[in-house]
């Protein structure tokens, strides 16, 4: 696992830079988790470092990194603080997705991306309690009503709004009541009627600040509507979502390190060597190495496809989902094995493994859902079979 997936000097230099940030976040991750605190200092450090603008195209002041690089750095950041990595991954991924798909008018796109390059943070608020996962097609309860003067009035509540305490803007998905279709609105967080309900109190990923976003008669000008989503619109692949499997494989790598450190340092008086050399521990370590090797090569292999533009990227949507499913299955398995190595010691409140064990469970709830991915893969297999008949 010490082999780097960085491919050139520039990537190695940037990876080392992110690694220093991750290492500085590690101890504070444990403290914030115990206190249920939000890492304001860490996010400010990410802003000052310029990292938050790395996915912005160079033309707008960013670094224009590819999905491969994004995965590389996010996996490393997650080894220090998974919650910080997952939360900032949403901002950077959403920024990349908007810049790449270019569904916004340039008048809205340019200032948005330039602000992101300067360190302003955003996220896409889509999830709602009544609809569950947006991918399942539930009707959006947040509404946008025409105000009679060309603008809109928004009302609703969004759940799982990661980065909520430090967001500068939020992209809200709402139902246009006069059209019955969905649209995205770019809203500054200081807008009257926008507030945060601090309800995030979970057993894992406590530091993501994924509170509820409340919209109470929020009046917006017409230009706040940045994208319409017609019904039946064919979705395009979103490689930025690879930041999710990267984060959880980062957790698995951190758990591996903790398990190896424990095994190398723990020697009960019944043994003449640390348990690192015990056959049963060796079996667990070997399985950890095997699982992580396979999952990481799958992740980086898929990410590498996106370094060059593809004419039809929609056919890769099932594969992107498969990467996430394999990564989560692997991460869950690795963290479990790491805890088996450390035994009850790893469940102590002072031990990082118990936090990693709680954090990794959230991968099951991040998109895309496993059953949806399996369904896509099944449908793809059916199409391939019937096409050859």
User: Are the C-beta atoms of residues 173 and 133 closer than 8 Å to each other?
Assistant: no
Three-state DSSP class for 175? strand
Give the span between the Cα atoms of 128 and 91, in whole angstroms. 19
Domain 239-387 architecture: Up-down Bundle (1.20)
Mean pLDDT of the chain: 94
pTM for this entry: 0.96
Residue 148: how many CB atoms within 10 A of its CB?
Answer: 7
Share of the chain above pLDDT 90, in %: 88
The structure tokens listed for 319 are: 């594969």
Domain 124-229 architecture: Beta Barrel (2.40)
The structure tokens listed for 282 are: 């060796």
Q: What is the pLDDT of residue 136?
A: 64
Would you call 233 exposed, middle or buried from its count of C-beta atoms within 10 A (0-12, 13-18, 19+)? exposed
CB-based contacts of 113, cutoff 8 Å, min separation 6: 56, 57, 60, 61, 62, 95, 98, 99
Calculated CA dihedral for residues 134, 137, 140, 145, nearest 10 degrees = 120
**Per-residue pLDDT averaged across 273-292, rounded?**
98
Spans of all domains in the chain: 9-117, 124-229, 239-387
**Per-residue pLDDT averaged across 260-264, rounded?**
98
Give the span between the Cα atoms of 189 and 340, in whole angstroms. 45
Secondary-structure class of domain 9-117 per CATH: mainly alpha
Give the span between the Cα atoms of 351 and 364, in whole angstroms. 23
Q: What is the pLDDT of residue 315?
A: 80
Q: What is the pLDDT of residue 313?
A: 77
Angle between helices 9-35 and 352-360 (to 10 degrees): 100
DSSP-assigned states of every residue in 72-125: HHHHHHHHH-HHHHHHHHHHHHHHHHHHHH--S-HHHHHHHHHHHHTT----EE
Q: What is the pLDDT of residue 268?
A: 95
Three-state DSSP class for 143? strand
**Per-residue pLDDT averaged across 327-354, rounded?**
97
End-to-end CA distance of the chain: 44
Q: What is the pLDDT of residue 239?
A: 94
Residue 343: how many CB atoms within 10 A of its CB?
Answer: 11
CB-based contacts of 290, cutoff 8 Å, min separation 6: none
**Per-residue pLDDT averaged across 4-31, rounded?**
95
Does residue 232 register a pLDDT over 60? no
| Predicted confidence band of residue 180 (pLDDT cuts 50, 70, 90) | confident
Q: Label residues 244-267 b or e (16+ Cβ within 10 Å = b).
A: bbbbbbbbbbbbbebbbebbeebe
Calculated CA dihedral for residues 41, 44, 50, 52, nearest 10 degrees = 100
Q: Which residue matches tokens 């796109």?
A: 109
The pLDDT tens digits for 375-387 are 999 999 999 898 7
Share of the chain above pLDDT 70, in %: 96
| Predicted confidence band of residue 57 (pLDDT cuts 50, 70, 90) | very high
């Amino acid at each position: 696992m010490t082999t780097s997936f960085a491919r050139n000097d520039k990537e190695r230099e940037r990876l080392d830079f992110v690694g220093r940030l991750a290492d500085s976040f590690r101890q504070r991750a444990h403290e914030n988790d115990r206190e249920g605190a939000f890492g304001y200092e860490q996010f400010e450090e990410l802003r000052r470092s310029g990292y938050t603008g790395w996915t912005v195209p160079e033309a707008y002041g960013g670094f224009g990194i590819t999905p491969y690089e994004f995965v590389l750095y996010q996996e490393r950041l997650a080894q220090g603080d998974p919650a910080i990595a997952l939360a900032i991954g949403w901002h950077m991924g959403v920024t990349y997705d908007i810049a790449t798909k270019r569904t916004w008018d340039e008048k809205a796109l340019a200032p948005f991306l330039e602000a992101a390059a300067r360190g302003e943070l955003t996220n896409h608020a889509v999830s709602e309690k009544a609809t569950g996962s947006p991918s399942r097609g539930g009707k959006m309860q947040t509404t946008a009503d025409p105000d009679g003067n060309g603008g809109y009035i928004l009302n609703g509540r969004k759940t799982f709004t990661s980065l909520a305490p430090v967001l500068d803007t939020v992209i809200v998905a709402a139902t246009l009541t006069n059209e019955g279709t969905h649209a995205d609105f770019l809203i500054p967080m200081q807008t009257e009627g926008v507030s945060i309900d601090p309800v995030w109190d979970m057993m894992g990923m406590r530091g993501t600040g994924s509170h509820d976003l409340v919209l109470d008669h929020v009046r917006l000008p017409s230009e706040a509507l940045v994208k319409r989503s017609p019904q039946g619109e064919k979705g395009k692949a979103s490689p930025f979502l690879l930041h999710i499997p990267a984060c959880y494989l980062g957790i698995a790598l951190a758990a591996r390190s903790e398990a190896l450190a424990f095994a190398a340092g723990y020697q009960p008086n019944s043994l003449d060597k640390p348990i690192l050399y015990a056959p049963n521990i060796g079996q667990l370590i070997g399985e950890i190495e095997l699982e992580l090797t396979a999952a990481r090569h799958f992740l980086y292999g898929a990410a590498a496809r996106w370094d060059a533009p593809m004419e039809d990227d929609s056919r890769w949507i099932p594969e992107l989902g498969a990467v996430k499913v394999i990564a989560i299955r692997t991460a869950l398995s690795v963290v479990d094995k790491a805890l088996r190595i450390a035994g009850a010691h790893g469940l102590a409140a002072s031990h990082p493994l118990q936090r990693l064990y709680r954090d990794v469970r959230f991968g099951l709830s991040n998109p895309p859902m496993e059953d949806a991915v399996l369904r896509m893969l099944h449908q793809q297999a059916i199409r391939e079979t019937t096409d050859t008949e």
